[in-house]
Amino acid sequence: MKKTSCFLGGIILIVTALMITGCAQKAAAQGLPARPIAQAGTAGAAKVYMTADISPAGLAAVYNALGRTASGKVAVKISTGEPGGHNFLQPALIGPFVKAVNGTIVESNTAYGGRRASTAMHYQVAKDHGFTAIAPVVILDENGDIPLPVSGGTHLKQDYVGAHFKDYDFHVVLSHFKGHAMGGFGGALKNMSIGYGSSRGKAWIHSAGKSFTNPWGGAQNAFLESMAEAAKAVSDASGGRILYISVMNRLSVDCDCSSNPAEPDMHDIGILASLDPVALDKACVDLVYAAPDGRSLIQRIESRNGALTMTHAAKIGLGSLEYELVKL
């Protein structure tokens, strides 16, 4: 029995080593460590603040930790959520924060059909999901779109956002972190790019600057890099009057844009905030990798090469992959 036990144990060790090596090779190809870990104490790195308290008080705590006050006419960019889905950020959670910053909830129409593809239906969805009860809601591209210049892009020279973008003095990118069928994951960078993009701007990003009408069929890596480039355009246009908060709850492998998302199979993690959207997304991804039950979401991220959005964003100067995680 003892020899058999040792033999089996040796097999397990060999298989485990091979699995770790395979994960390391895949992660290296994506520009990430094999088992990403929050890089606490990195000198000069961006700070990412975190609380495990997923509540209005927790949301207020990470916002206050940033030390940047949302002032003037404040846009709070969220996803209103496709009808049928139920993982989007709930009004009861975000309402006190939105009111505290005197914010207007902003969104843009979709490019894939559904009930948020036209302005009138989208306003109805915002009402049905309870957002109009906590703040004014504006669909940014209800009156068309405007171009924002892209600096240092490989695919895009311009990003197209709703014309009402220019009406706001300050932007709060309030994201629900989760998986995504095409991007691998959706966090701050996706909310800044696809989220702010007008209906035709979304097609422009998906097609890597080839079509205003067809969001389908483009090259995957070009799409991921185009998201990073569009996000940089939004950040640059804000002139520094912007901040980023991501809520890691209801961690489905599917996006809030899905009308029938998969049920989450991992535990909630917390709320994170940063003045650097790349660092924020990286911290969220690292926490998924560190979670004992993050396998499904990790598989979704890796199967879509989702890390490329972060690495390209860092390459073009939007932010840093290095960060210091500050737990509140």
Which domain does 316 fall in, by range? 40-327
Angle (deg, nearest 10), helices 199-206 and 220-238? 130
Share of the chain residues as helix, strand and coil, in percent rounded to the nearest 5: 40, 20, 40
Rounded distance between C-alpha atoms, residue 77 and residue 91, angstroms: 13
pLDDT for the residue 14: 32
pLDDT at 42: 57
pLDDT score recorded for residue 44: 72
Among the listed residues 218, 194, 171, the one whose alpha carbon sits nearest the alpha carbon of residue 109: 194
Q: Would residue 27 count as lying in a domain?
A: no
Q: Is residue 26 part of a domain?
A: no
* Percent residues over pLDDT 90 in the chain: 84
Quick check: is 22 in a domain?
no
Q: 320: which 2 tokens? A: 């840093």
CA 125 remoteness from chain centre: 21
User: What's the confidence (pLDDT) of residue 28?
Assistant: 42
Q: How confident is the model over 109-135, as pLDDT tens digits?
A: 999 888 999 999 999 999 999 999 999
Tell me the per-residue pLDDT of 213-272, one tens digit each, with 9 for 90 and over: 999 999 999 999 999 999 999 999 999 999 999 999 999 999 988 888 999 999 999 999
**The total number of structural domains that make up the chain:** 1
Within-domain flag for 211? yes
Average pLDDT over residues 70-91: 96
CATH of the domain at 108: 3.40.50
Q: Are 181 and 259 in contact (CB under 8 A)?
A: no
pLDDT at 84: 93
More confident residue, 208 or 114: 208
| Residue whose pair of structure tokens reads 């709850």 in the numeric block | 249
Judge whether 222 lies within some domain.
yes
Q: How many CB atoms lie within 10 A of CB 155?
A: 23
Region 152-174 average pLDDT: 98
User: Is position 74 within any domain?
Assistant: yes
What is the average pLDDT score of the chain? 89
Task: Please tell me the predicted confidence (pLDDT) of residue 258.
Answer: 87
Residue at 10 is within a domain: no
Q: pLDDT tens-digit profile of 16-43?
A: 333 333 443 444 444 444 434 334 445 5
> Could you tell me if residue 4 is inside a domain?
no
Report the first-to-last Cα separation within the chain, whole angstroms: 51
Pairing state between β 242-248 and 323-327: unpaired
Residues 55-84 have a mean pLDDT of 97
Share of the chain above pLDDT 70, in %: 87
Closest by CA to 74, choosing from 206, 207, 174, is: 174
- Can you list the positions of beta strands (E) in the chain? 46-51, 74-77, 103-107, 137-139, 145-149, 158-162, 170-176, 178-180, 184-186, 242-248, 270-274, 323-327
